[in-house]
Structure 1
Amino acid sequence: MLGDLIAALEQPEVVADVLSTLQPELAAKLAERATNASMSVGDFSAGAVRAFLDEADDDLWFQLLTLMRKSEDPGLVAVQTILRWVVAA
């Protein structure tokens, strides 16, 4: 579920769907960060999520898993949360 969504983030229509679920200012900040990195929003988002998966500490994983467990769509909540953390960093 999460792995499929992460892999699909490189598809423009999937990125558009995920971004449409974010608060507008968060989506705008994410697009700005992608532009500053000379990347598409999809590539930036997929890379950010992969970096989180590779580098997150136990505390962040615990927070993420707690949010996922409480959600009806855990994969989407995971990606939304990771992208929110990326923009806030």
Structure 2
Amino acid sequence: MLGTLIARLDEPEFARSVLDTLTPELAVAIEMRATAASMTTPAFVAGAVRAFFDSADDDLWFQLLTIVRQADEPGLTAVQTILEWVATERRSAS
């Protein structure tokens, strides 16, 4: 489920539909980060989520799993949470 969602983030229309689930402020912040990185917003979204999976430390994984475990839509909630962390440059305490 989550793997399929992540794989589809490369599809611009799908990435846009995920962005539409975010608060307007968060969506704007992601778009600004994409612009700053000279990337399209869908490409930035896909890259940010993949970068999290490649580099998140144990503390961030634990936090994400705790949030996802309580969600009605775990895959979407995981992506939303990761994008929120990216937009706010959340870092682990370690």
Give the TM interval when normalised to the shorter protein: over 0.9
Letter in structure 1 aligned against 2:71: S
Letter in structure 1 aligned against 2:41: V
CA distance in 2, matches of 1:16, 1:43: 10
CA distance in 1, matches of 2:41, 2:6: 13
1:17 deviation in Å?
A: 1.1
Greater than 2 Å deviation, 4+ residue runs = none
2:4 counterpart residue number = 4
Identity %: 62
1:16 deviation in Å?
A: 1.4
Name the SS of the counterpart of 1:50 in structure 2. Answer: helix
1:58 counterpart residue number = 58
Q: How do 1:9-88 residues align onto structure 2 when only pairs under 5 Å count? A: 9-88=9-88
Structure 1 unmatched runs, 5+: none
Counting matched residue pairs gives 89
2:92 counterpart residue number = none
Name the SS of the counterpart of 2:72 in structure 1. Answer: coil
CA distance in 2, matches of 1:53, 1:86: 12
Structure 2 unmatched runs, 5+: 90-94
Letter in structure 1 aligned against 2:9: L
1:67 deviation in Å?
A: 1.0
RMSD between aligned alpha carbons?
Answer: 0.7
TM-score under structure 2 length normalisation: 0.91
CA distance in 2, matches of 1:10, 1:28: 19
